[in-house]
A and B are shown apart, each in its own frame.
Chain A
Amino acid sequence: MKKFLSLVLLVMLLIPAFAQAEGTVTVFNWQDYIDESVIEDFEKETGIKVNYVRFTTNEDMMVQVDANPGHFDLCFPSEYIVERMISQDMLSEINYDHIPNAKYILENLQNSTYDPGNAHSVPYMWGTVGILYNTKLVSDPVDSWGILWNPKYMKNVFMLDSYRDSMGVSLKSLGYSMNSENILELEMAKEKLLEQKRIGTLKAYQVDETKDKMVSGEAALAVMWSGDALYAMDLNEDLAYAVPNEGSNVWVDCMVIPKNAKNKENAEKFIDFLCRPDIAQRNCEYIWYSSPNSGAIALMGEDYISNPAINPSEETLARCEFFRDIKEPYRSIYVTLFEEVKSAK
């Protein structure tokens, strides 16, 4: 009996306490998308415990938020997902009285097309999609998406395993909009991606692995988000980043509070904390994306402002477009087409 009792005790010790009451906030963010010491500082300053959970793609995040209502207090979707979440009535309005630091958000991002008046979302980071390449392995100028199809780089191209990004790259390389809802264009974009497999330049479809693999010189070219590219460039000086002339995607990742969040006020405190210039600066320097926070930009100084990968020129930005939320039935067409690409041998 004694043995049994000690076993029961052991079990009790092993069951972690799941405090869901006051004093917690559950944050659902991208992989590698915060300086984790910031979380500790927030906990120290406010006494609120942060449950920090990570996701890999916008679509995975949507499914989880949908399937676990009330689980998450704060999420970090990209702008087109914010648009979709608003249209599906999944977000609650943000009370800006609790977020005085929101005044630092850059003016051009304050009244967005995806969320008029930023009623439901506060910008967290922004950036572009471009090509990260190894200058030792690539001799041609990297100024066009076409280089991803150049047979010189056999088995040397990493693509993004995300249907909006890969279809978007393919559409842009054909001169179409990344938000195309024209089936002719979409079918051609699919053909173009299949062609990449046939030519044999494609090495792999993946997401977060890419940056570390580029650092170790695993491939010559990779479609990358600007921040991940800068992170890799910091670790390997042979790497460079370019946004092709055909144009690309510029995006904003936002902080939003799901409708049935249990700890809305704590979530707003967390947002406010992340908008504080010194904290925004730390995050920015850690994850290398472009900050929407004027206070942080002022702190980071000239080096930051003059870096073309972080602050693309006006003319580069003019060629880029935001993702718009693709409505059904076109969204499932994107999904079906990309599935066909991925499963092709």
Chain B
Amino acid sequence: MMDLQLPAWATWVMLAGLAVFLAMMILFIRRNHGMKRSLFASPYALWMAIFTILPCILIGYYALTDASGKFTLDNFRHFWDSNYAKNQLYATMGEAAAPFIKRGTVNVDTLIYSLWMAFLCTVICLVIGYPAALFMADRQMKLGATLVVLFIIPMWMNFLLRTIAWMSLLEDQGLINRVLRFLGFEGVQLMYNSGAVLLGMVYNFLPFMVFPIYNSLNKMDPKLHEAAQDLGCNNWKTLYKVTMPLSLPGVISGITMVFMPSVTTFFLPRILGGGNTMMFGDLIESKFLTEGNWNVGSALSLIMMILIMISLGILRKADPEGEGGSMI
């Protein structure tokens, strides 16, 4: 499948090199009092070079070569036209095949669909999550710390199991429909569609929206609130003029933390969507693990990576200090 291959021992040599490097560094520190502290970061730098930068370069390498290792841009053409290989073949088959030559939009459509779903998920999380964070940060209610813990706990349950639990709720013969029918209503089909996938996404990513917003609201000086009221703002106006602008960094980092994993969701569409729709993550996975086509798969990954970098760049612009609170 590949012709440019390092022998098996190469990685082990690299790892051994890392160990030697670490040992030498410790010796240096012991011997040489004047050693710069900045060198403490070098094992990490080396680690990142091997396990982050090299793999990224490999994706680029596979995306730009064909199965025999020759340079090609076909993989990107394949992204634009999912029928690319098929069309080339049909072109050699004469007239019978001619009417079937047309651009396939599977990859582009799936990407647009994933972006749209991620957008919806982010908006819903924001709409549901912002008031939640606001109420949590309400100092009169004194619920903040407890609620943060209560929001974190569900995340300890395995993500896949939580999703499957939704399946037993949403199925036609599932809990919700049983309750509906028991109460004398008609059953509804809740699963096997995009709505169910969206629900699963919101469920999994909502805490990532609530935490950063809560953090930035919590950091706010309560006196600001009082000052605004003293200056004649009513509750709504205070919210609109003071609280909201000040929580913006939290909102932005919440958006980042929800949007990013949403675009690359996979597995959810298969379980809750019944495999009726695919998201970009599913497409990448099937390219690698079902078709074994690493070149096209790498090209799709690269496109996804670039897209995310761009959107992050835009978000960074909006929040230059990157203050919006860290994870959890």
Contacts and interface: CB of A to CB of B under 8 A. Distances in A.
Direct contact of A and B (CB under 8 A): yes
Interface of A: 57, 59-60, 62-63, 66-67, 155, 161, 183-184, 187, 197, 202-206, 213, 216-219, 329, 332-333, 335-337, 339-340, 342-343, 345
Contacts of A161: 275
Contact of A183 (B100, B109, B289, B290): B100
A217 B173 contact: yes
A2 to B, nearest CB: 22
Interface in B136-185: 171-173
8 closest A-B pairs by beta carbon, nearest first, are: A204-B274, A205-B275, A216-B173, A63-B292, A343-B106, A343-B278, A204-B192, A336-B86
Given A66-B1, A335-B291, 19 more contacts: A59-B291, A60-B290, A183-B93, A187-B100, A206-B274, A206-B275, A216-B173, A219-B172, A329-B89, A333-B86, A336-B86, A339-B82, A339-B106, A339-B286, A342-B277, A343-B109, A343-B110, A343-B277, A343-B278
Given A204-B275, A336-B104, A342-B275, A183 B292 contact: no
B119 interface: no
B276 interface: yes
A204 B275 CA distance: 6
B164 to A, nearest CB: 10
Contacts, number: 81
A161 B104 CA distance: 21
A60 B290 CA distance: 5
A58 to B, nearest CB: 10
B96 interface: yes
B275 A183 contact: no
B189 interface: yes
Nearest to A336: B86
B273 to A, nearest CB: 8
B83 interface: yes
Given A57-B290, A60-B290, A332 B275 contact: no
B45 interface: no
A183 B173 contact: no
The SS class assigned to the B binding surface is loop
B188 to A, nearest CB: 11
15 contacts: A59-B290, A63-B292, A66-B1, A67-B292, A205-B276, A206-B270, A213-B171, A216-B173, A218-B172, A329-B89, A333-B86, A339-B286, A340-B104, A342-B275, A342-B276
Main secondary structure of the interface of A (DSSP, over half): helix
B97 interface: yes
Contacts of A340: 82-83, 104, 106
Contacts of B171: 213, 216, 218
A155 B188 CA distance: 11
B90 interface: yes
Contacts of A203: 192, 274
A60 B109 contact: no
Interface string B73-110: 00000000011011001100100110010001010011
Contacts of B109: 343
Contacts of B110: 343
A335 B291 CA distance: 8
A206 B276 CA distance: 9
A110 B279 CA distance: 44
B276 A202 contact: yes
A247 B67 CA distance: 38
Nearest to A342: B278
Nearest to A155: B189
Contacts of A206: 270, 274-275
Contacts of A67: 292
Contacts of A219: 172
A60 B96 contact: no
A116 B1 CA distance: 28
B290 A332 contact: no
Interface in B279-293: 283, 286, 288-292
A62 B96 CA distance: 33
Contacts of B274: 203-206
B289 A329 contact: no
Contact of A336 (B82, B97, B276, B288): B82
Nearest to B191: A204
A155 B192 contact: yes
Nearest to A64: B289
Given A205-B274, A206-B275, A333 B192 contact: no
Contacts of A184: 96
A340 B107 CA distance: 9
Contacts of A183: 90, 93, 96-97, 100
B289 A63 contact: yes
Nearest to A203: B192
Contacts of A339: 82, 106, 286
Given A57-B290, A155-B192, A183-B93, A336 B275 contact: no
B104 A329 contact: no
Nearest to A163: B290
Contacts of B173: 213, 216-218
Contact of B86 (A204, A332, A345): A332
Interface in B256-277: 270, 274-277
A344 B274 CA distance: 13
Contacts of B172: 217-219
Contacts of B283: 343
A200 to B, nearest CB: 11
